[in-house]
Amino acid sequence: MLTQRQIFSPEALERYTRSHERSVLPRLVRPNVTRAAWLLGFLIMAGAAAATAVHVPEFVRAPAVVTMDAAGRPLLLIFISPAQAHEVAPGASVVARYAGGGSGWTVREVKRIASSPAAAAAEAGAAVLPDAARRGPTVLARALPAFGSTAPAADAPGAIVEATIRTGEQRAIALLRSAWGPR
């Protein structure tokens, strides 16, 4: 009869089985919390990507008067404050707002006038000056109706309107930086 002999000592077998056992760590966080953390991280990254990719338009508002040019076409004279004048350039689109709607115009010329608004209006040939333009020095911009459009009846000569000029655009992230940045 054969006797069973062990090749390894009991201590060596014990060390071998201990080294190959799987260590089990306790679950500290539920699986739903882990999924929610991944989802939150993904949403933050998507929001950051969108904030750098999205462009937000910038506008300047100024009072304006509708007049007629030498050729008998409607002309919009926009009285811009000097602080905002550097933002307005020829070719910028303008919306003239009046009670009941608005009409599209295009800036053709920006004339830097370092005199009073009344002198600017007299030089431009405007018979009426908007109250908001009487406050101080002004920059005069001339705009013609946008290509393919005509000035509506509300834009008759002498009508005072509010002009909204699109001056450009910036990334949405810049708005966030200016809102929470150093003051």
What does the block give as tokens for 155?
């834009």
pLDDT tens digits, 59-75 = 888 888 887 777 777 77
- pLDDT (0 to 100) of residue 41: 96
**Per-residue model confidence (pLDDT) at position 177:** 65
Residue 87 has pLDDT above 70, yes or no: yes
Tell me, what's the pLDDT at 62? 83
Structure token pair of residue 78 = 């926009």
Single-letter amino acid, residue 65: V
For residue 7, the one-letter residue type is I
Is the distance from CB of 167 to CB of 58 less than 8 angstroms? yes
Average pLDDT estimate for 154-158: 64
pLDDT at residue 13 above 90? no
Instruction: Tell me what pLDDT residue 105 has.
Output: 77
pLDDT reported for residue 109: 72
| pLDDT value of residue 142 | 73
- Specify the length of the chain in residues: 183
Element (H, E) at 101: strand 101-112
Domain residue spans in the chain? 57-168
Q: If you average pLDDT over each of 102-106, 137-141, 176-180, which comes out highest?
A: 102-106
pLDDT the model gives residue 37: 93
In whole angstroms, give the CA distance from residue 55 to residue 50: 9
Mean pLDDT, the chain, whole residue set: 75
* pLDDT, mean of residues 2-7: 68
Q: Which pLDDT does position 131 carry in this prediction? A: 65
Domain at 57-168, CATH homologous superfamily: Efflux pump adaptor protein, beta barrel domain (2.40.30.170)
